[in-house]
Structure 1
């Protein structure tokens, strides 16, 4: 009888939880490690005082077929909530509502001239017809479009006005990186689906997906993996295995303990994966893979959430600053748009990006709450008179992977070359979406199966 393979999955975000779920289906004994006290990674939801607040990724769309399939398989369809598509763009004193998918709202949008609107419609229709079937989660599908930045593509095809008042507000508030530094591949795919895009979340929190997937595996929650080492076959044959639990060629160290595994799935951010694999033999993790992991950059994000009495804001539209120059405030949202919480109060979240987010990463809570509110009041004057009380602060240094020009081509090559018993999963290997994380996890488990023969 064949020995059951023991697999460690490090990182319990969407990529790690998907990898653990899929690996367990093959009969492997899977142990899922997570440094936080709950699964979810960058979809983790904060629950307190009757509220459920998403601290990272806050939505998914109707063009995530992999996630849709898991929702059916896991019985999560009843938890799916449709979100409003209405945003309010703010440029100086101008406040401009824009409902995505509404031709009338688009035609009335005051920040872009008629000629440029017609130009935008023509370009969007053309790309919809050409790229509607593009798989946004697969870097190999995006590689041919990975030739220039979003900014350069938009300025060349649509002009400066459309770039500043439609393209940037459609990308930067949700992914936090700059359109100047990111490949156009993701943008073209999104543009091709913009007309009929529908946005959803989970009523019980965006981490519902990870929580459901992780039910089938053994969890090590609140356990930071500090090292992963591979023992030589000579050491194993001579019995020099120390006090590590079990058998297997890899020793995982966490919380002062060690445990042995046959296979490793690194489902962390790229910088953590780079650190944990730096000393591994090139036969397990190639020099090219190590270089790719080490060179991955991330956009920072700080979110400050405040309480306020219920009903003080008459709408729950997402407010987004736009126009030339840096916009430190990415977006201002009201939680009641997504789900009901404590009936006596609402939650208002302010998202900060760019240099200001970087400066606030190490700030104390009192300082961060005060400074972020002051920034938001300059964008949205409604906040000046609101009795906002601090509720929750999240500071993420590695919030979103930056897919610079050429990065999708490198990611595609990385996925093609990876093989067991050491594999990688994460949105840096696809794109910064739950769908991208799922795709990378599926590819990682496929690589384990190919190497092991089952």
Structure 2
């Protein structure tokens, strides 16, 4: 999403753009899988939120409004098998949240209102320039325990952060937590009816898109950059370009930058890329009867422990049978906790299903004992960790970016498509000289 956003800006600026993509389709980690037996045939569909203003601007620009489908924002937090609704759009409903004391519910509301009223225009979950001001070296856990009791934090703010991103609040910057409180309240959520890749494809229009070409090496040849890529058929291509945007996960970017001299990639940038940590993601999906779980619901594990299953998301689907008829089912995405994910990553799908299925009842005790395994998606670089101080370093690195090699990705801010695309736009600005690279990108931002 970062690379395609950069391509959009560069094509608009009149540049000739070549886009190398290792996969056989655009979208990167936001790309969905498709299965013809379900209606619609889209799975692992990342969400678009009403606070994604840059994405919404692009959607309007490309006429993709009809591609969005509204989904419920229902959140259930589970404590020892007992679920309770944790609403984000109703103060009255929040007061009835039963997993914590009334004192914590009130404190959570007060903290949220304070961040919304005082800091909403100063902090931005997707913009490191605004996050850096609040990145004082403390963690989300330290902040949460200041405003709530330990249980209040573990079953309210921690559940929301770790349920969405699966990284440990003990290891991430306070800025992430405060920005969530300031911006997420009342947000509405959508999915793309054909997958988020439709936006990536539209943003890449006008570029020469080379699918199935993995970049293996970057070298500086005079003032130009030589890009060497290998196609799926084994063919190696090597071309020179005036400038490049490297829009891949940070560890891959660091590897590609290793052959470039310091005048192209500073030591600060190199160290920043090499030090970025990631939590991998594993999505294990099943088909179950429609009444087996609540539909259109995000179910999250409460508490401070790393659970066996971190969260589940349920979507109603119509499934075509072998006889040509259709039946109503729920497509359930189960996301294991951090330790289980790391243990299962890279194993054969049959083994992953075999090990995850018995764990499902640790989240939802009445989960069917014989769910139909459906699809698995792995993201080795799922979530870049915004550790304390990371946002400040991010701004320093972005401020120092220079042609002919610039970098873009969600690791500059937060693991969201909105943040990735902001970084792509800023990378393109460096190359075109069109305005302050660190200036506002999101419509309506100041």
**TM-score calculated relative to the size of structure 2:** 0.90
- Given the alignment, which residue of 127, 137, 144 partners 2:133? 144
For 2:284 and 2:229, locate their aligned partners in 1 and report how far apart those are by CA, in whole Å.
34
- Higher deviation after alignment, 322-331 or 173-182: 322-331
**1:108 is paired with a residue of what secondary structure?**
coil
Alignment-derived partner of residue 215 in structure 1: 205
User: Are the counterparts in 2 of residues 19 and 444 from structure 1 also a CA contact under 8 Å?
Assistant: yes
Q: Cα–Cα, structure 1 residues 194 and 260, in superposed 2: closer, same or farther, change >3 Å?
A: closer
Cα deviation for residue 309 of structure 1 reads 4.6
For 1:414 and 1:373, locate their aligned partners in 2 and report how far apart those are by CA, in whole Å.
43
User: Are the counterparts in 2 of residues 250 and 263 from structure 1 also a CA contact under 8 Å?
Assistant: no
For 1:341 and 1:261, locate their aligned partners in 2 and report how far apart those are by CA, in whole Å.
48
User: Are the counterparts in 2 of residues 318 and 331 from structure 1 also a CA contact under 8 Å?
Assistant: yes
Alignment-derived partner of residue 40 in structure 1: 27
Listed one character per residue, the Cα deviations across residues 416-441 of structure 1 (whole Å, up to 9, x for unaligned) are: 11011111110001221111111101
Cα deviation for residue 71 of structure 1 reads 1.0
Cα deviation for residue 173 of structure 1 reads 1.6
Listed one character per residue, the Cα deviations across residues 171-222 of structure 1 (whole Å, up to 9, x for unaligned) are: 1121111001000112211101233211122122122211221232211111
User: Are the counterparts in 2 of residues 33 and 219 from structure 1 also a CA contact under 8 Å?
Assistant: yes
Alignment-derived partner of residue 17 in structure 2: 30
Alignment-derived partner of residue 144 in structure 2: 154
Q: Cα–Cα, structure 1 residues 54 and 146, in superposed 2: closer, same or farther, change >3 Å?
A: farther
Q: How does 1:282-431 map to 2 (within 5 A)?
A: 282-310=262-290, 312-313=292-293, 315-336=295-316, 343-344=326-327, 345-385=329-369, 387-431=370-414
- Given the alignment, which residue of 48, 73, 93 partners 1:85? 73
**2:287 is paired with a residue of what secondary structure?**
strand
User: Are the counterparts in 2 of residues 231 and 251 from structure 1 also a CA contact under 8 Å?
Assistant: no
Alignment-derived partner of residue 163 in structure 1: 153
For 1:397 and 1:230, locate their aligned partners in 2 and report how far apart those are by CA, in whole Å.
29
Alignment-derived partner of residue 5 in structure 1: none
Cα deviation for residue 372 of structure 1 reads 1.2
Q: Cα–Cα, structure 1 residues 113 and 249, in superposed 2: closer, same or farther, change >3 Å?
A: closer
User: Are the counterparts in 2 of residues 250 and 262 from structure 1 also a CA contact under 8 Å?
Assistant: no
For 2:170 and 2:382, locate their aligned partners in 1 and report how far apart those are by CA, in whole Å.
18
For 2:273 and 2:15, locate their aligned partners in 1 and report how far apart those are by CA, in whole Å.
27
Cα deviation for residue 53 of structure 1 reads 3.6
For 1:399 and 1:124, locate their aligned partners in 2 and report how far apart those are by CA, in whole Å.
27
- Given the alignment, which residue of 158, 161, 185 partners 1:195? 185
Q: Cα–Cα, structure 1 residues 341 and 418, in superposed 2: closer, same or farther, change >3 Å?
A: farther
Alignment-derived partner of residue 280 in structure 1: 260
Alignment-derived partner of residue 443 in structure 2: none
Q: Cα–Cα, structure 1 residues 281 and 191, in superposed 2: closer, same or farther, change >3 Å?
A: same
Which ranges in structure 2 are unaligned for 5 or more consecutive residues?
321-325, 435-446
Q: How many residues align?
A: 421
**2:260 is paired with a residue of what secondary structure?**
coil
For 2:318 and 2:413, locate their aligned partners in 1 and report how far apart those are by CA, in whole Å.
33
User: Are the counterparts in 2 of residues 269 and 426 from structure 1 also a CA contact under 8 Å?
Assistant: yes
For 1:424 and 1:54, locate their aligned partners in 2 and report how far apart those are by CA, in whole Å.
29
Cα deviation for residue 44 of structure 1 reads 0.7
For 1:409 and 1:437, locate their aligned partners in 2 and report how far apart those are by CA, in whole Å.
17
User: Are the counterparts in 1 of residues 213 and 229 from structure 2 also a CA contact under 8 Å?
Assistant: no
Cα deviation for residue 353 of structure 1 reads 3.1
Cα deviation for residue 311 of structure 1 reads 5.2
**1:29 is paired with a residue of what secondary structure?**
coil
**1:99 is paired with a residue of what secondary structure?**
coil
Alignment-derived partner of residue 176 in structure 1: 166
User: Are the counterparts in 1 of residues 135 and 391 from structure 2 also a CA contact under 8 Å?
Assistant: yes
Cα deviation for residue 98 of structure 1 reads 2.6
Q: Cα–Cα, structure 1 residues 25 and 220, in superposed 2: closer, same or farther, change >3 Å?
A: same
- Higher deviation after alignment, 259-268 or 374-383: 374-383
User: Are the counterparts in 2 of residues 174 and 330 from structure 1 also a CA contact under 8 Å?
Assistant: no
Alignment-derived partner of residue 242 in structure 1: none
For 1:181 and 1:396, locate their aligned partners in 2 and report how far apart those are by CA, in whole Å.
20
Q: Cα–Cα, structure 1 residues 249 and 112, in superposed 2: closer, same or farther, change >3 Å?
A: closer
For 1:432 and 1:249, locate their aligned partners in 2 and report how far apart those are by CA, in whole Å.
29
Aligned-residue Cα RMSD (Å) equals: 1.9
**1:177 is paired with a residue of what secondary structure?**
coil
Cα deviation for residue 341 of structure 1 reads 6.6
Listed one character per residue, the Cα deviations across residues 206-263 of structure 1 (whole Å, up to 9, x for unaligned) are: 2221122123221111111111111136xxxxxxxxxxxxxx5423332322122221
User: Are the counterparts in 1 of residues 87 and 93 from structure 2 also a CA contact under 8 Å?
Assistant: yes
For 1:250 and 1:365, locate their aligned partners in 2 and report how far apart those are by CA, in whole Å.
38
- Higher deviation after alignment, 321-330 or 416-425: 321-330
For 1:122 and 1:219, locate their aligned partners in 2 and report how far apart those are by CA, in whole Å.
49
Cα deviation for residue 165 of structure 1 reads 0.4
Q: Cα–Cα, structure 1 residues 327 and 121, in superposed 2: closer, same or farther, change >3 Å?
A: same
